[in-house]
Amino acid sequence: MPQRPELTAVGDLAFSCRSLSVEVSTKSGPKRLLAPLDFSVKKGEILSIIGTSGAGKTTLLRVLGGLVPPMPDSEVLAAGVPIQGPPDRVLMVFQDYASSLLPWRTIRKNVALGLETQYHGEELRDRVDAALDLVGLKARGDEYPWRLSGGMQQRVQIARALAMEPAVLLMDEPFGALDAITKSSLQDELLKVHEQTGATIIFITHDVEEAVYLGDRVLALGGVPGKIIEVLDVDLPRPRSQIMTKEMPEFLRLRHRAYESVVEAELRLRTDQ
Amino acid sequence: MSETMAIHLARTPAKKKRWYARWNWTGAATTLVLLILWQLCDQLGLIHFAYIPSPLQIVGGAVQLLQEGALQAAVAHTATVAVIGWAIATLIGLILGTIMGLSKTVWTWTAASVEVLRSFPSITFVPLAVLLFGFSSSMELVVVIYAAAWPVLVNTLEGVRTISPGLRDVARTFHLSVWRNIRSIVLPAAASKIIVGLRLGLNLALILALAAEVIGNPEGLGYGLTVEQQALQPARMFVYFISVGVLGIILNAILQLIVWWTLPGITALAERGRKS
């Protein structure tokens, strides 16, 4: 594991957010979804975000992905540049794979979606194959996504993002709709991909165990509007293993802490209301 | 690895049926039996109307008309006007429908006019078109375009407006340009509705071409129909009558084949929808 220096230069940050807040207008006037948040994400790290529902996890991710504008007084930088629209090489992986894959395109053509204008012919084919290879779906390329199981469809979505050689993957509960076995095998695949590509990954989940298992850090959001309850450093060795890692006392300690902060967030939510 | 197995099972491709296997042969047989019954009724004198010819008399009329070359000319005229008019209408409907579906501003400005105009049956515009363009083929074409554009426009608009927000996010996160977004996501996502519009438009194109020929333009199947009716030639009239139906069936089949050939993904998706 690379040493993490205490002071990180702006150039080493995938994201830096100062007083990031989000408001939406509703019938009963403006509603704040995220209280001012200050945090940053280092390049190449995996940041897990957990929290109660309604704490603005998805909103936060959509701000980072350039799909939702923050309040004007927020300072949100992606690789040092203020976010205006989706930043370059920052790609989102959505929870609802069925509605974000294009059902009229084969898997290969789905993966080619972002590459088609840049590459053609053999080059395009090679890149698509390489991305499919990363998720172990090369042999399935000519099928339609709806013929595959949920886990495989989510892999296609991940391959489609990886084909773009992303610097950052923003994943919104990507494994939330999958069964436990598929979920753990996809977790390990994601860690493998992370090792191979070095991409920064921000990963939303409501599964505390998953957050600790995958993350270099775990950020707990809570309350309405969402605030940062706690940021935990996860100093578990990599590569991680579903059995070994999850039996380590440090893992158990971190899981305990993470649960506590979610419970605390819940309590805070009740007192807020 | 059980997942892989399951996929193999689920993947067994549906057998591609040949066109003649898709044909409804029993249905065709029923039609044949009815035709024979019709002929028998006429010959045995069971039912007799002065102006309903027997199938054999109609065949005789068809031979006459083919020898005169009148039938070929009429079919060619009506088919050409209907198809060209429909093609122009499709272009107009697709472009306007997409723009109105994507832009809220355009939609709010035009929604009321669209609702009012499309509620008029297109046939009411035929006399007006005769006034404007005279008894001519350009009158016929204008009427066809006007009528066929509506279903294409309305269905495209509906299809584009109801695209899932998920796909909109995908287009944005992959930095698709406006044109690429329309081509790769918006139109394919709206395709099933658009195809319905295309088929309705084609039917209307044929109907309005005939109406224009009956009322105003002295050419084509519609004109042949009225001329033979006024000349009290029921056998020859029925030839035009049947030709209209056959032309409609052929045009629809061609459209379906084109969709099937050019849009494999949409077709696969539609077949999946039909199965479940």
Residues of B with Cβ-Cβ distance to A172 under 8 angstroms: none
Strand pairing partners for A17?
A39, A76
Of B7, B176, B265, the CB nearest to A105: B265
The per-residue pLDDT for B1 is: 41
Nearest chain A Cα distance for residue B256, angstroms: 17
Give the pLDDT band (50/70/90) at residue A135: confident
Residues of A with Cβ-Cβ distance to B269 under 8 angstroms: 103-104, 144, 146
Q: Is the pLDDT of residue B3 over 60?
A: no
List the A13-26 sheet strands across, edge first. A29-42, A13-26, A75-78, A81-82
Task: Calculate the dihedral angle through the C-alpha atoms of A253, A255, A258, A262, rounding to the nearest 10 degrees.
Answer: -130
In the three-class reduction of DSSP (H, G, I as helix; E, B as strand; rest coil), residue A85 is classed as coil
Phi–psi pair at A106, nearest 5 degrees = -70, 170
Element (H, E) at A16: strand A13-26
Is A92 in Cβ contact with B164 (below 8 Å)? no
CA–CA dist A155, A148 (Å, integer): 10
Is A146 in Cβ contact with B175 (below 8 Å)? no
Element (H, E) at B194: helix B187-215
On whether any CB of chain A is under 8 Å from the CB of B273, the answer is no
For residue B209, the 8-state DSSP code is H
Fold for A10-89+166-272, please state it: Rossmann fold (3.40.50)
Q: Is the pLDDT of residue B58 over 50?
A: yes
| Chain centroid to CA A223 | 21
Q: Tokens for A149?
A: 């199981």
Contact present, A32 and A23 (Cβ < 8 Å): yes
Residues of B with Cβ-Cβ distance to A100 under 8 angstroms: 166-167, 169-170
Which residue in A84, A104, A148 has the most chain B C-beta atoms within 10 A of its own C-beta, making it the best mutation to test that interface?
A104
Q: Is the peptide bond before A5 cis (omega within 30 degrees of 0)?
A: no
Residues of B with Cβ-Cβ distance to A107 under 8 angstroms: none
Structural domains present in chain B: 76-247 (1.10.3720.10)
For residue A44, the 8-state DSSP code is T
CA–CA dist A175, A184 (Å, integer): 9
- C-alpha closest to that of A208 among A264, A250, A240, A256: A256
CA–CA dist B38, B27 (Å, integer): 17
Contact present, A19 and A38 (Cβ < 8 Å): yes
Contact present, B193 and B156 (Cβ < 8 Å): yes
pLDDT in tens, A221-258: 988 888 898 999 999 998 999 999 999 999 999 999 99
On whether any CB of chain A is under 8 Å from the CB of B116, the answer is no
Q: Is the pLDDT of residue A273 over 70?
A: no
Query: If you average pLDDT over residues B109-138, what whole number do you get?
Result: 90
The per-residue pLDDT for B120 is: 87
Contact present, A173 and A95 (Cβ < 8 Å): yes
Sole residue written with tokens 């105003």: B216
Nearest chain B Cα distance for residue A81, angstroms: 17
In the three-class reduction of DSSP (H, G, I as helix; E, B as strand; rest coil), residue A169 is classed as strand
Residues of B with Cβ-Cβ distance to A67 under 8 angstroms: 169, 172-173
Element (H, E) at A219: strand A217-222
CA–CA dist A90, B145 (Å, integer): 46
pLDDT in tens, B146-187: 999 999 999 999 999 999 989 999 999 999 999 999 999 999
Is A146 in Cβ contact with B272 (below 8 Å)? yes
Q: What is the DSSP string of B22-59?
A: HS-HHHHHHHHHHHHHHHHHHHTTSS--TT---HHHHH
CA–CA dist A111, A39 (Å, integer): 32
The per-residue pLDDT for B84 is: 97
Q: What ipTM does this complex have?
A: 0.86
Mean predicted lDDT score pLDDT of chain A = 89
The full set of domain ranges for chain A reads 10-89+166-272, 97-165
The per-residue pLDDT for B93 is: 97
Mean predicted lDDT score pLDDT of chain B = 88
- C-alpha closest to that of A200 among A178, A235, A171: A171
Of A86, A96, A147, the CB nearest to B11: A147
Sole residue written with tokens 């909109």: B168
Contact present, B206 and B84 (Cβ < 8 Å): no
Q: Is the pLDDT of residue A10 over 80?
A: no
pLDDT in tens, B179-232: 999 999 999 999 999 999 999 999 999 999 999 999 988 899 999 999 999 999
CA–CA dist B110, A25 (Å, integer): 27
Residue of A nearest to B191 (CA): A104
The least confident of A75-84, A168-177, A260-269, B31-40 is: A260-269
